[in-house]
Structure 1
Amino acid sequence: MSEGAQAHPFVRGVRGVQAVRVVRVGEEGWRELRAVRLRALASDPAAFGSTLAREQAYDDALWRERAAAGRTFLAWASGLVVGLVSYYPEEDRPADERQLVSMWVAPEARGAGVAALLVEAVRAAAAADGARVLTLFVADGNERARRLYERLGFRSTGERETLPSDPERGEERYALALT
């Protein structure tokens, strides 16, 4: 875990790994954030609204700014980052709503509960920020993510948008009441 990371209470053993620890990223953790985000975009480009090429072009100042916002969590196991998630208040949405974004779990850690730990970290942080609703978008065809979010209590709102990274595909908004 880097110096820029703050310990978070969510820890769980995972498949031959001693424990997974979810950590809130601080400004000093920007390098880890950049590395895992670029790995996620390279590994699973169809799952995100952004692209690898776009985010590879970001300068260090932008990565530092993202990390300093304190709205990103990394999942660590055996000294390696195995997951990522962020949240933020969305413009033109209710003030008591936050959107979960950038969810990704490394292929070697999938199916071991890492995603649920990451969602719980965001749920708790968003609620502490005053949110009453947590939303997210699921890209069409990402059935594994859809099943996960439904299992965690998210429900479809029926709202659909075009996936920003691929105008030929859509995405659907899901919501979870936090109160």
Structure 2
Amino acid sequence: MNKIFLALALLLTVGFSVAYWKMGGFKAAVVTQETTAQPYFVAGRYYEGPAQDEAFGDLTREAYNLRKAGKLRGDFSNIFYNSPESSRDSARVFVGVLVADTTSQQLPTGYQYRTFPAGQRVLHARIQASYLLAPDKLYSGVKDAAEAQKLTLQHVYLEHFPEQGEPEVLAVVQ
């Protein structure tokens, strides 16, 4: 009986390890220092409150459903206005969809545009991984790069989760 449990545990461990590997769990974020060349436009809604609050999840689901239904064209995106460490307690975030411009589509009721401006110095982190694993790896990559390059983070972050391509975070630095 113990051999069966041991074999099952080993099989599950190998299975989870392979799934984690396939999702990009063993990859590290690639981080470069850049200046944003063009503005990024996000259509969405602002949220301030506990990150675990259902209202935050509702905004995320709403943006996903509007994009899926074709009422907003673009990729899921957020602009965070506080650090990822403190956002676990209290998030200040604009939740929505990264759009090409502010004139080509009508916004759903209650939605507005926010701009992540051009000309900002940023740490640009990218990773070839599932959007489920990407945020922690992207933010830890940004934090490590900022420390290594002795840069000060301004705690403004643009998250971008394209349907095709690499998830990315742009973190404003001084």
TM-score, length of structure 1 as denominator length = 0.28
Q: Which has the higher contact order (CA 8 A, sep 6+)?
A: 2
Larger Rg computed on CA atoms: 2
TM-score, length of structure 2 as denominator length = 0.29
